[in-house]
Amino acid sequence: MGLMQRRKGRLAETMFKLELESRDWSVIDISAGVNDADLVATDPAGKTHLVEVKNHKLLNPTKWRQQAREQAKKRRMGWMLAYRIPGYAGLWVVERMHSKPVVWGIFQGGEE
């Protein structure tokens, strides 16, 4: 992966971390440039998720979901996948273990 792709990925991780924190989630950045999950996030109810963040022009949620599940299984945690919607700044598709996908967005003020 090239430097530009790593920077784009780190920017997306930071943006999604801020989105989670705006919803009163506690977040720890664990990526540190390694080939593993990006964040550990705990929701206001105390449930913890291993978070994989994606920022690609071409969407491949089936592959990304599998990656998120495998990483979470190794750590015995719940999984979360967040990916940007190309062409819609600030919007994220958020998938979580035992939940239907939702769209979160800083410009929407909540879930849709």
58: CATH: 3.40.1350.10
Mean pLDDT on 102-108: 76
Window from 33-42, 72-81, 82-91 with minimum mean pLDDT: 33-42
pLDDT of residue 108 exceeding 60:
no
CB 57 within 8 A of CB 86: yes
Whether pLDDT at 4 is above 90 = no
- The strand pair at 78-84 and 26-29 is best described as unpaired
SS3 36: coil
Does 35 have pLDDT greater than 70? no
The pTM of the full predicted model, rounded to 2 decimals, is 0.86
Q: Report percent pLDDT > 90 for the chain.
A: 68
Confidence bin at 5 (pLDDT 50/70/90): confident
For the chain, the average pLDDT equals 88
Q: Report the domain count for the chain.
A: 1
Query: Residue 71 is part of which domain span?
Result: 3-111
Separation CA 9–CA 26 (nearest Å): 20
Q: What is the reported pLDDT for 18?
A: 93
pLDDT at 68: 96
Residues 67-71 have a mean pLDDT of 95
